[in-house]
Chains A and B, each alone.
Chain A
């Protein structure tokens, strides 16, 4: 049974009266790879900074092992952070960067003549040396000890930042969009590298990203956030296959989201036609959102289709074609390995397990229509796109 390390209870955060976090309740288990996923401004970095001790929540509690930590400063918390732009110390070489935390020493509380006193515990030089070299080996930077950090590539700097944090043997490592500044290829390599390090060290990683692919590839648990609220918590499979609302369905992967009505258990109606599905437990005739993943749709000849539509656009994506199909004015995205030219009429077949039903929510009607071929789609797949700092106001700001 996993042990709980950190818990946020009803945390709210506001900058200048503007709510950034809205009653967040969340716990983090030992040895877990947990990802906070959401678009820019959703509150994920704020959550991370509250855990790191750089922000104090406006209300609510931060508990470490059940002890309230709201006002404990960062240097007394047993967490370490990997910053988005690495934040390596430019005046120190690789070795000294990694050794930084060890040289500061641990603060330990001890009793002297009946009083609780803070004392810095200094490590012997030999132990520091050993631990730094060991850690550099783990992040594959053996032999780089004497390099200046400015001489390293982005990926190498990233590894130094990870080593610098991990060498202190924190219980929890916080990572704030650590791969955002790397190019696509390096990002993929680092994803598996990070996962390997996490498993090797056996500690908790709390990972912040806006990249759903990254989240799906690495996480044990994903927390989807939007507008300061948690939208869904679950394993990557849960989140992908059973999105709770239109926002999650749209944000994680591609989705066609349609208005439908639940007639009874396992029967849903949309486009004036009843379909079989695997969902139950809705009110009779309850209006619902119907999610259909683009890769789940089978294209068949017109006469065999449950629905008929016309191809209006085709984009080659390597493994598959993104095909936009017009059904009575509502456009779907369908991913197929076969080419269907523009203007061709086609039919589609939906199997019961291709259809996922969600309750209506505030997000209903906002997503899942490919009528205007999606710009956000390009944005999310653009490796050079860097998310803006969502809470610059809280820290002052840059010129």
Chain B
């Protein structure tokens, strides 16, 4: 071979390996980073691993993921293997079209599979539950009502795994000598004996391969799980995705590193085993057969034990549950365990990535949530659509602790539907080393002198909102002319190249790394950026801003209303609010907690809290007086927003 070619192919191989493994390497390195920054190295720490093992939400979803993957892979392997044998024994004229049908689910988009399964389960369970209700009224024997959950998740995973197993086992069957099974039966085996003694050893590589593929596909899956898991179950992928509303915690780096290391270890073991077998093959002896048989036995035993342990672990005590849907990294997970310990009510905590995603899941039906935590404008909308239940405040005595400033707000004027959870302001985050003088006005966002330095927030309500504020209009205006004017401002600034990009959670990395000077984002998130880069500052501009409230609501069709109210009451406790504030950096509406937080901080960290930072988190009254909350906009105004936003994306 010619030397130049060899160099070229080596380079190509090096590049392939680089692109395959560099991202994983980065992830592993940052799992040890002593900071939540995803771009800058702040020193070595094992804290993320420690926190990981204290985070009940992540651990529970990891556990669910592994259990579903293991069970679905095993069941799909058994079912798929026998299905493959069925195909193999079929006449060709039937087999070919049926195999094609078998392959369709694999080429089908996950989203289609997921949605169709969800609709199927909703429809089937709806019929069953209606029947069960009728039956239960007239009989003493009671039929259970069905809802989506672990069972449907498992069924969905088994379903999408089976085609992969068939595809993996099929070729091994075709490679096998057709007469082998007949030879075994001729020698006295029943079909089943022949299967175990002859066919299975022959197709074992295909079966094991199918099992591994199924396991991996199951761990991998997000979309189908999202639609079929119901309210009580979350896979790891769902939990991670739910974090994208805020930043993805480095705990995820830690767990990913652990998963990767586990897979690597498994591969090493498998390879070592193969090498040993290869060597044994070269020095044959009857011993080998026996030892491999014993190995199989040990393997099967270990697998059975593992499943047993997982199943035992999954048996949660207590009949009472509450299904909560929050945002990722938006609660101190210790609170969930504390609540469970105190009340015996099991909390199924799921996360959504945005108000809109949560809303569409609820509207689609079968979400099964009891408690949701929408933002103000979404509460208005859901209340008007009759999706929310009136709360029984006798069950929520801690509501009294909520400050008056957070009551009687426009989204819930009579305090019937919502209990505020967190609140904060929208403002400008800027890097003090990158601007000449402190920023005080929204004008900075439209100023060509900062060309290429500004990160605009990537959602229409906030982006057009800040333009309206700058122009002196209300963020809730229905006047199309004013909105048009605000749009024009944004379009011009974009055309002038002011905006480096439109971002959501990438804002963390860019601001922490000093890649941009100015950004529009939320106060609570500023605090976690500040942790990693003390050059950053936050301001609520002089024109005023949006202040927002996320509040806990109970869905009208909640199955566990009483438990939901117990949960809300628990979250309103001063101690819970303090813990949450410390964990998520968003201000609590609990007046006591708000006042006590500086003391709490001193006790926890042994130092005074910077009053300026406290003011960022809990904006003082004079700042709030200048701020406006979002109202739900009428549909026609929403349409205007949507059209202008699309236009902005295309133009400039």
Give bound CA distance, A107 to B185, whole Å: 12
B248 interface contact, C-beta 8 A: no
Q: Are A81 and B174 in contact (CB under 8 A)?
A: no
Contact flags (1/0) for A37-77 with B, using CB distance below 8 Å? Answer: 00000000000000010100000000000000000011100
Restricting to B510-549, which residues have a CB under 8 Å from any CB of A?
none
B621 interface contact, C-beta 8 A: no
Give bound CA distance, A87 to B179, whole Å: 6
Q: Are B284 and A147 in contact (CB under 8 A)?
A: yes
Q: Are B187 and A93 in contact (CB under 8 A)?
A: no
Nearest CB on B from A398, distance (A): 7
Q: Are B188 and A168 in contact (CB under 8 A)?
A: yes
Give bound CA distance, A282 to B285, whole Å: 70
Q: Are B91 and A396 in contact (CB under 8 A)?
A: yes
Q: Are B190 and A75 in contact (CB under 8 A)?
A: yes
Nearest CB on A from B202, distance (A): 7
Nearest-neighbor residue (CB-CB) of B284 within chain A: A146
Residues of chain A with a CB closer than 8 A to B201's CB: 89, 91
Which among B91, B178, B189 has the highest number of chain A CB atoms within 10 Å?
B178
Known: A81-B183, A83-B182, A147-B284. A75 touches B189 (CB 8 A): yes
B104 interface contact, C-beta 8 A: no
Which among B90, B188, B201, B281 has the highest number of chain A CB atoms within 10 Å?
B188
Known: A91-B202, A396-B90. A100 touches B182 (CB 8 A): no
Q: Are A396 and B92 in contact (CB under 8 A)?
A: yes
Contact flags (1/0) for A155-192 with B, using CB distance below 8 Å? Answer: 00000000011001000000000000000000000000
Nearest-neighbor residue (CB-CB) of A167 within chain B: B187
Contacting residue for B180 out of A87, A93, A397, A399, CB 8 A: A87
B286 interface contact, C-beta 8 A: yes
Q: Are B182 and A81 in contact (CB under 8 A)?
A: yes
Give bound CA distance, A395 to B187, whole Å: 19
Give bound CA distance, A104 to B189, whole Å: 7
Nearest CB on B from A181, distance (A): 12
B133 interface contact, C-beta 8 A: no
A318 interface contact, C-beta 8 A: no
A332 interface contact, C-beta 8 A: no
Nearest CB on A from B43, distance (A): 55
A106 interface contact, C-beta 8 A: yes
Restricting to A128-169, which residues have a CB under 8 Å from any CB of B?
146-148, 164-165, 168
Q: Are B186 and A90 in contact (CB under 8 A)?
A: no
B89 interface contact, C-beta 8 A: yes
Q: Are A85 and B179 in contact (CB under 8 A)?
A: yes
Nearest CB on A from B193, distance (A): 7
Number of A-B contacts (CB under 8 A): 87
Residues of chain B with a CB closer than 8 A to A336's CB: none
Residues of chain A with a CB closer than 8 A to B284's CB: 93, 146-148
Contacting residue for A75 out of B90, B180, B185, CB 8 A: B185
Residues of chain A with a CB closer than 8 A to B186's CB: 52, 74-75, 79-81, 165
Nearest CB on B from A91, distance (A): 4
Q: Are B92 and A100 in contact (CB under 8 A)?
A: no
Give bound CA distance, A146 to B282, whole Å: 11
Residues of chain B with a CB closer than 8 A to A395's CB: 178
Residues of chain B with a CB closer than 8 A to A91's CB: 201-202
Contacting residue for B193 out of A87, A96, A104, A164, CB 8 A: A104
Which among B88, B184, B193 has the highest number of chain A CB atoms within 10 Å?
B184
Restricting to A332-381, which residues have a CB under 8 Å from any CB of B?
none
Known: A147-B284, A397-B92. A83 touches B185 (CB 8 A): no
Tally of A interface residues using CB under 8 Å = 38
B623 interface contact, C-beta 8 A: no
A101 interface contact, C-beta 8 A: yes
A241 interface contact, C-beta 8 A: no
Nearest-neighbor residue (CB-CB) of B188 within chain A: A104
Give bound CA distance, A395 to B190, whole Å: 18
Nearest CB on B from A193, distance (A): 21
Interface size class, chain B: 20 to 34
Give bound CA distance, A358 to B420, whole Å: 109
Q: Are A54 and B182 in contact (CB under 8 A)?
A: yes
Q: Are B174 and A399 in contact (CB under 8 A)?
A: yes
Known: A146-B286, A396-B89. A85 touches B188 (CB 8 A): no
Q: Are A87 and B90 in contact (CB under 8 A)?
A: no
Contacting residue for B184 out of A100, A105, A146, CB 8 A: A100
Contact flags (1/0) for B182-217 with A, using CB distance below 8 Å? Answer: 111111111001000110011000000000000000
Q: Are A105 and B188 in contact (CB under 8 A)?
A: yes
A95 interface contact, C-beta 8 A: yes
Which among A80, A104, A148 has the highest number of chain B CB atoms within 10 Å?
A104
Known: A91-B201, A96-B289, A399-B174. A107 touches B179 (CB 8 A): no
A231 interface contact, C-beta 8 A: no
Nearest CB on B from A224, distance (A): 26
B177 interface contact, C-beta 8 A: yes
Which among B182, B193, B202, B284 has the highest number of chain A CB atoms within 10 Å?
B182
Residues of chain B with a CB closer than 8 A to A148's CB: 281, 284
Residues of chain A with a CB closer than 8 A to B180's CB: 87, 89
Nearest CB on A from B291, distance (A): 14
Give bound CA distance, A387 to B358, whole Å: 67
Give bound CA distance, A74 to B180, whole Å: 13
A25 interface contact, C-beta 8 A: no
Restricting to B278-294, which residues have a CB under 8 Å from any CB of A?
281, 284-286, 289
Contact flags (1/0) for B69-93 with A, using CB distance below 8 Å? Answer: 0000000000000000000111110
A84 interface contact, C-beta 8 A: yes
Give bound CA distance, A395 to B90, whole Å: 8
Q: Are B188 and A107 in contact (CB under 8 A)?
A: yes
Residues of chain B with a CB closer than 8 A to A52's CB: 182, 186
Which among B179, B184, B286 has the highest number of chain A CB atoms within 10 Å?
B179
Nearest CB on A from B103, distance (A): 16
Residues of chain B with a CB closer than 8 A to A90's CB: 202
Q: Are A74 and B182 in contact (CB under 8 A)?
A: yes
Give bound CA distance, A165 to B281, whole Å: 26
Give bound CA distance, A168 to B281, whole Å: 28
Nearest CB on A from B184, distance (A): 7
Contact flags (1/0) for A100-119 with B, using CB distance below 8 Å? Answer: 11001111000000000000
Nearest CB on A from B126, distance (A): 43
Nearest CB on B from A92, distance (A): 8
Q: Are B88 and A396 in contact (CB under 8 A)?
A: yes
Residues of chain B with a CB closer than 8 A to A79's CB: 186
Give bound CA distance, A148 to B283, whole Å: 11
Residues of chain A with a CB closer than 8 A to B174's CB: 398-399
Residues of chain A with a CB closer than 8 A to B289's CB: 92-93, 96
Q: Are B184 and A85 in contact (CB under 8 A)?
A: no
7 A-B residue pairs with CB within 8 Å: A73-B185, A84-B179, A96-B289, A105-B188, A147-B284, A168-B188, A396-B95
Given A100-B197, A101-B188, 10 more A-B residue pairs with CB atoms under 8 Å apart are A73-B190, A75-B185, A75-B188, A87-B179, A90-B202, A96-B289, A104-B189, A146-B285, A396-B89, A396-B91
